[in-house]
Each structure stands twice: as structure tokens, then as C-alpha cells.
């Protein structure tokens, strides 16, 4: 796991449908996506619960920070900070910085 740009990380979080649809094909692109998806899954397990929660709710499920915050009992500003920190943590884990 290394050399993921911020753009790729955000894409991995927010475009899970594209990754899932590529799993049935055998192109180099699909294989690359599957490997990135596996890296992403491993990185998620290493994140703190609150950051993982924010990445899953705001990034993958595309809930607003207000809605996600209500679900977990925090303000939209707190959820926004957690999401941003989560993306930073994800980048560190994906790029082996931690």
C-alpha cells in the first residue's frame, strides 16, 4: 500500500459503486480497483471508530454532516472535522505513513 493521492482516496471513499461493478471483470483496470479496494478495507480497520464512522457515513453513504452528526449525537461541525480527519488518517494508512 503506497502512493495514493488525495484525489484517489476521496474517490475510493465516495465511489464504491464503481469499484463494486468492476469486480466481475478481468481488465487491468478492474484488478487495480480491486487491489485498491482491499487496501482501503484494511486501512478502515486501522482508523479510530469516530473517524471510520464519519468516513462511512459522510463519504460512502453520502449523508450530510448534519444528518450523520444527528445519527451519532454530535454537531455537524464536529462530524465535518471527523470526516476531514478521517480522510487524512486514511491517506496515512494507505500510504504506509503510520
The pLDDT score that the predictor gives to residue 13 is 80
Number of domains in the chain: 1
The CATH number covering residue 84 comes to: 1.10.10
Which DSSP category does 15 fall into?
-
Q: Per-residue confidence at 71, pLDDT binned at 50, 70, 90?
A: very high
pLDDT for the residue 40? 85
Domain assignment of residue 84, given as a range: 6-94
pLDDT tens-place string over residues 1-59:
467 788 888 877 877 776 666 666 666 766 777 777 788 888 889 999 999 999 999 98
Amino acid at each position: 500500500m503506497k502512493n495514493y493521492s488525495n484525489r484517489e482516496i476521496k474517490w475510493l471513499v465516495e465511489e464504491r459503486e464503481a469499484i463494486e461493478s468492476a469486480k466481475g471483470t478481468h481488465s487491468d483496470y478492474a484488478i487495480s480497483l480491486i487491489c485498491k479496494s482491499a487496501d482501503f478495507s484494511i486501512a478502515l480497520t486501522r482508523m479510530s471508530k469516530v473517524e471510520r464512522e464519519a468516513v462511512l457515513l459522510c463519504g460512502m453513504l453520502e449523508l450530510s454532516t448534519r444528518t450523520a452528526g444527528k445519527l451519532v449525537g454530535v454537531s455537524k461541525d464536529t462530524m465535518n472535522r471527523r470526516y476531514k480527519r478521517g480522510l487524512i488518517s486514511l491517506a496515512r494508512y494507505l500510504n504506509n505513513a503510520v
